[in-house]
Structures are given as structure tokens and as C-alpha cells.
Amino acid sequence: MPEPPPPDAAAIAANLVAVRARIAAAARRAGRAPEDVALVAVCKTHPAEAVRHALAADQRRFGENRVQEAAAKFPALRVEYPDLRLHLIGGLQTNKARDAVRIADVIETLDRPRLADAIADAVQREGRMPTLLIEVNTGDEPQKSGVARGEADAFIAACRARFGDSLAGLMCIPPLGADPAPHFAWLAACAARHGLSVLSMGMSADFETAIAHGATHVRVGTAIFGARPQPAR
């Protein structure tokens, strides 16, 4: 199968303008301020060149799902763009926790006690504390990362006690093909119960629905960078 050509600078800039306009419109429809919804541009599998095009179009927040890929792309870009923010959005192995803590500004996929241990240990060693989000497996899908719904309250409380305000919120990926709205509503209610302000939810296909349910961060890949050159997960 031939790979799709990488989108050029003009296409990425135009896509960003369009996605930002859709975010702003969805926020206004929900009675929210557009600037209260942050766009995380998901650039996994796309080359650093594509990230540069987005940076040139004033995008500063990016999402990667693999630590190794992020470590290869981002340290050099960060030297040029010190205000760049990197979110790790993929399931995280404990043996990658130290690299994750070293390079990420936000780790969105804290989902089990052993990973909390590994992150706490890495924070000690690296002297660096990223913002943390807990991923909830709102569909209770066996193959998916994220803490099960029934275990979420206890895990959130334990992480809050351990990490304090560095634990900022929750993240979810609704089951493929399901109506995402009840999943977004569940996550928003869970965050409210715990006084957590950050809600990372919504991707290219459903970010407007997520904003209607209170998303503060939407993670958008395809609508900005085009189809991915290879399957990412």
C-alpha cells in the first residue's frame, strides 16, 4: 500500500484554522469561552517536519502516544520553541515512566497503582513534575488502558493524596463506534465529584460533542495532519 503524502505547510495551517474555528463555535454553542478549550495537536506517526509546519502556524500544544517517538522528535523542537507543550496520550509502560517524566509536560494516561509508583520514583530522580491526568476506561473495554469505572473514585483519591495539585484531571477514549456523549458526561461528572478541572476528551470525529460536555482539552490528529502514514495503535 502506498503511503499518503505528508500534508504540506499550507494544508496544515488551513486545517488548524478550520479546527480552531470549529472549537470556538462549539464552545460558544455551549455557553463557554473559546479560550477555555485547548487544542492538543496529535502528531503521532507524522514527521518532525509536520510538527514544524504546525508550530509555524502558531500551534504550541502537541500529543504523542509513544514515549520513544516523542523523545526522538521533541527535545530539538523545544530548544527552538521553549513554550511548546508536550502531552503523552498513549498507554504507558512502567519501564518508560522515567523517560516520560523527563520529556512530557502532561502525562494523560496514569491508570494503575504500579504506574503511579513508577512516576513518583521518576519525579524524585528527574526533579521534574509533569501535570498528570488519570485515564478512565469509561467503556470498561478489556483490551484498553485506563482505570475501570468502578475503581476510578478510589484511584483518583489515592493519586490526589500522593500528587496533590499535579493531578489535574481526567482523560477518556470512548469505545469505537459507540455514542461518545454518555462517556463524556460520565467523565465530566466524575471530575466534578473530585474537584478536578481538566477534562481531556474528544478527537477528530467527536470533539464538538466533547466540548458540549465540558472538555477543556481536545486531542485532534487526523483533522490537522491528515491520515496517518501507518497504524498508530
Ligand X SMILES: *Cc1c(COP(=O)(O)O)cnc(C)c1O
List residues near ligand X by CB under 6 A.
42, 44, 65, 89-90, 173, 203-205, 219-223, 232-233
φ, ψ of residue 165 to 5 degrees: the values are -70, -10
In terms of CB distance, is 162 or 228 closer to ligand X? 228
Query: Minimal distance in Å, beta carbon 228 to ligand X?
Result: 7
What residue is closest to ligand X based on CB? 221
Query: Minimal distance in Å, beta carbon 188 to ligand X?
Result: 17
In terms of CB distance, is 39 or 126 closer to ligand X? 39
In terms of CB distance, is 44 or 53 closer to ligand X? 44
Q: From its phi and psi, is residue 145 left (phi > 0), alpha (psi between -120 and 50) or beta?
A: beta
In terms of CB distance, is 21 or 158 closer to ligand X? 21
How far CA 84 is from CA of 94, 199, 233, in Å, comes to 25, 20, 25
Half-sphere exposure of 198 (CA within 13 A, CB side): 22
Query: Minimal distance in Å, beta carbon 218 to ligand X?
Result: 9
Query: Minimal distance in Å, beta carbon 208 to ligand X?
Result: 12
Rounded to whole angstroms, how far apart are CA atoms 233 and 229? 12
In terms of CB distance, is 195 or 216 closer to ligand X? 216
Query: Minimal distance in Å, beta carbon 79 to ligand X?
Result: 26
